[in-house]
Structure 1
């Protein structure tokens, strides 16, 4: 029961971050500004974003539940909070404000935080570290897409 309660809490927080991010990005991906951008050839189709973010947040919520129950430290909570803020902030900075360079800085910082989770807690999480890999891979792809837009527009 303890596991399920924490898992549900992390699901609510993580999907809440996605919801807030969507609200803050305005019409983002459908805006004339974004549509007119020269985007990377490896940019996924629009439907992929919702699908992958759903999988990522379920896996990340499981990961955070296991990590939190194993190691309830200020460092874990701090990294999680920073991750939450950066995840939400990028949508606003990139899509709403059209600040591509600042968006790149934001998403690089998010990549560093996700990497810190993976590297710092790998020894204690072992095979459960696979749960954060979808987030890590996706955020690396997203960082490359942001960089491409900065360089090619």
Structure 2
């Protein structure tokens, strides 16, 4: 594995993670109704840090391999939807619009896992916890949406 590639992929994950700092959960999120099985707040940064390290590892393992075009495309798509979800859910507070973003993220992670497995067992395996977590996140996203039917997105002024 090329260490420079690892740090480039890690930089991409830090870019996605930065949306969490730009759009924190805040008081608004605390007021939402949530299912009883929502993980405690401390779990989220621990899980995401682990996932970001794993997918940076996966990307770096396969990036230089012959035939890695689809794996790299799925890697790019998943990190793009990963970065998009937080501003839609927490920034715009648009629970409904976050659902298709989450669906696209789930499909992109699945595609990344499959294409990485096709090139390297360990790279594919590194995506498994991500797919599990995104499945949990999608269920949580949907549950919060259903439990808060009157929640309206932020009304942004026309720019």
TM more than 0.5 = yes
SS at match of 1:98: coil
Name the CA distance, whole Å, in 2 between partners of 1:73 and 1:128.
12
Regions of 4+ moved over 3 Å:
71-74
The aligned counterpart of 2:20 is 22
1:38 to partner: Cα distance: 1.2
Name the CA distance, whole Å, in 2 between partners of 1:120 and 1:98.
33
Aligned in 2, Cα 1:104/1:14: closer, same or farther, shift over 3 Å?
same
Q: Unaligned stretches of 5+ in structure 2? A: 149-159
Q: Unaligned stretches of 5+ in structure 1? A: none
SS at match of 2:64: helix
Name the CA distance, whole Å, in 2 between partners of 1:106 and 1:57.
19
Residue 12 (str. 1) matches residue 11 (str. 2): yes
1:71 to partner: Cα distance: 4.1
The aligned counterpart of 2:92 is 97
1:116 to partner: Cα distance: 0.6
SS at match of 1:43: coil
Name the CA distance, whole Å, in 1 between partners of 2:116 and 2:71.
9
SS at match of 1:69: coil
Q: Which one is further off, 76-85 or 89-98? A: 76-85
Question: Cα RMSD (Å) of the superposition?
Answer: 1.7
The aligned counterpart of 1:124 is 119
**Which structure: greater helix fraction?**
1
SS at match of 2:42: helix
SS at match of 1:46: coil
Residue 114 (str. 1) matches residue 109 (str. 2): yes
The 5 A counterparts of 1:22-101 are 22-25=20-23, 28-31=24-27, 33-71=28-66, 73-101=68-96
1:37-66 deviation line (CA, Å, top 9, x unaligned): 111222111111111111100011001111
Aligned in 2, Cα 1:71/1:46: closer, same or farther, shift over 3 Å?
farther
1:87-141 deviation line (CA, Å, top 9, x unaligned): 1111000011111111011011100000011123323222432111121111111
Name the CA distance, whole Å, in 1 between partners of 2:118 and 2:93.
39
